[in-house]
Structure 1
Amino acid sequence: MKKTDIVLIGLMLFALFFGAGNLIFPPYLGMEAGKDFLPAITGFVITGVSLPFLAVLAIALSKDGITSIGSRVHPLFGLGFALLIYLAIGPFFGIPRGASVAYEMGVAPFFNGTSAIHLFLFTALFFAIVYVLSLNPSKLVDTVGQFLTPVLLLAIAALCIVAFFQFDAPAGEPAVKYADASFTAGFIEGYLTMDTIAALAFGIVVITSLRNKGITNQAQIVRYTATAGLIAAAGLAIVYVAIGWIGVHMPGADQFENGASILTAASAALFGSFGNMLLGVIVALACLTTCIGLTSACAQFFEEKWPKLSYKKYVLLFTLISLLIANLGLTMIISFSVPVLVMLYPFAIVLIMLSLLQPLIGQSRPMYIGAVLLTTVYSLHGGAVALGLETEAFAHWIGWVPFFESGLGWIVPAAAGALIGRLIKAT
């Protein structure tokens, strides 16, 4: 296989990952973290880059993708977990959010605000393009990796390089959540990119691309997937640090309520009216490539599990559902997606890590069951907190574990559950 093919697959994977959350969260993190930007962005990169890379690798190592990883707990859990992941990153949350962010940042500034009719017209055109470009998954590498990604990278580079020479405001004092635990705050902020759970779906897109290139040997698939993943990871890390730096050093950044507003103002300050056009190109390409990848991955999964509908019909179904939900607006989509993501992320991380450690610790159902059962307690609590339903009694009962206050209380119980299950298997 040619090196250029691997590079193109890596660029495709970068573009699939780099969507709505990747664009709007780092600048806001930079603004809020201020002087604590370095540890905060380090935590963000771990959940936003390292874990997605490991997730793609875990999928390449498994025989049946995300379903087989979850089936190590129980076959029904494997299917249910995979279904929740694909629906969350696909037509219910991830894809509609991408279209909504593209509208909010790329179109609304030209009309001095949002409009229901403008949102509908834009999303109708957006999803028509997503539908057409998702119909042939074998062309994703050529469409995304060869054409769309280079334009996206050039646009981002233009914004960040000019910002580096123009913005010189001193880093401010960190906001409350970053002042006490900047690393863990950044770590949790990385959840919202959805990339770790998206990687569980994008893994199949990479593997399909490799097979379309004639690669069928499992060892080669794993090796090439790892190489492509490293290319994508390096690109993501560089871009995160660069656009996060804008939030730290842009004059008056603390006046804005979100990362979208920061980038909009930054592009206007640096390039004038052309800045809105430049940012519009960045946003449109970033969100478009991600939505294409998610639509294709979801359609491939559903066709494999429920083949009564064809791949093309699933593509049509998911684009229509995404169109309807996208018109609810970005704020509403984020509000009902956060609790679900907070609950799903711990399970995804635990299953990924157990899968990657399998050569060292072996594979036993009790080990997976123990880890998932104890993770469930803290995952449900995290979701309840996100919904505003936390009870003090329950929090007091489970809150003695390390990292609980930082939202990472599931880490030690998951490890303990896996160890207990491993010991049960050994006896």
Structure 2
Amino acid sequence: MCPTDPAPEPGEEQNAADTDSAFTSLLENSAEELYEHAPCGYLSTLMDGTIAKINTTLLGWLGLDRSRVVGRMRFTDLLTVGGKLYHETHFAPLLQMKGEISGIALDIKAAGERMPVLVASKVKTSQDGEPLLIRTTVFDARDRRAYERELLRSRRAAEEARRQSDADRVRLQEALAVLQQSLLPAELPAVPGLEAGSYYHTASPDLLGGDFYDLFPVSAGRWAFFLGDVCGKGPQAAAVTSLARYTLRAAALHDPDPVTVLTTLNTVLHERYRSGQGRYCTAIFGVLEPGGSHVGVHLASGGHPAALIQRADGSADYLRTPGGLLIGALPRAPFTAARARLQPGETLLLYTDGLTEARTGPDRELYGEDALHAFITARPPAGPQALITTLRGLLASFDDGLDDDTALLALGVPALPPTTQGEELA
């Protein structure tokens, strides 16, 4: 058998009863204290809005005496004009429909100022479901409103900063565009017996590119041309571009032999940048020599993609210059020369690797030289300007697959009129 609990000593039952009574009284006093001095406002109203009960906290916010409020004022009397309007049009109808509502932002007429609050109300009903009164809790939202205002101010400041940043970016892009244009000829000169076309695609308006080209006279009846690509982007690349352009032009006026000109450029770049971070470029330099109905081409390349000739019969050939090294990398570099003839209706195309290294298709494969050759042969020969226009459409079709600047330079001999062709055949 389990032992029974020992019997209470005399007087223990009375002490326990007294303790329970004191604890109950303490709880009742604490509940009343909590209601009156809670960190939020409490009030109860009749169904017509007349205030039947209100706690000390809310009275303190309002700066009113209890005798002036209970039985004499309605809940809406505590609200600002805007709060009354919102109460009548939204708050009261929702409360009537749902029986309770919470998180409603209103403003009450606190002592000497407008006070933002969050309000929650619930309808108390009888056992039969008849509405008896409305219990409402009012939370101080001044800190929250201040936070919201600060957040709004910060948001507006951020938007203004963004607009200012956008404006600064536009100005920067405009300045870069002007600088970029200064590194290119404003327009190609008119060359007797020759047609020329060019195009420059900027991959990013926020960065200076390093592609360059030019066409200029070197002696009576002879014209020089070049197209190149500086490694890298930005101000450093622009500095190399400027140096390369003016070096090529100056060297060509002294001795237009293509290998000699590229050798001079290699020496200048290597000497200029050997003590710091190396700066390199690729380039094709050539000379055009008119000769009757054709134009002779004598060019050399330093690490640059091969030039392509679109023939009058619709075929196309690469003008290879194997062995030419990157310009500026070594103190001495070999360059390979090549010669060709442009007949009437034929065009020489020079381009930078932004074209052949564009990414295509879902696998983002390199476009490549073979694809370019096929593209050119699929188009009827119509001269340099038409070829440049066609290639601009190709570049646009790459969309985001074209992530490098691309320069195009096309030089060609105009096709003979049909009558002239017939006379030559006769």
Normalising by structure 2, report the TM-score.
0.23
Q: Which has the higher strand share?
A: 2
Normalising by structure 1, report the TM-score.
0.23
Q: Which has the higher contact order (CA 8 A, sep 6+)?
A: 1
Greater C-alpha Rg: 2
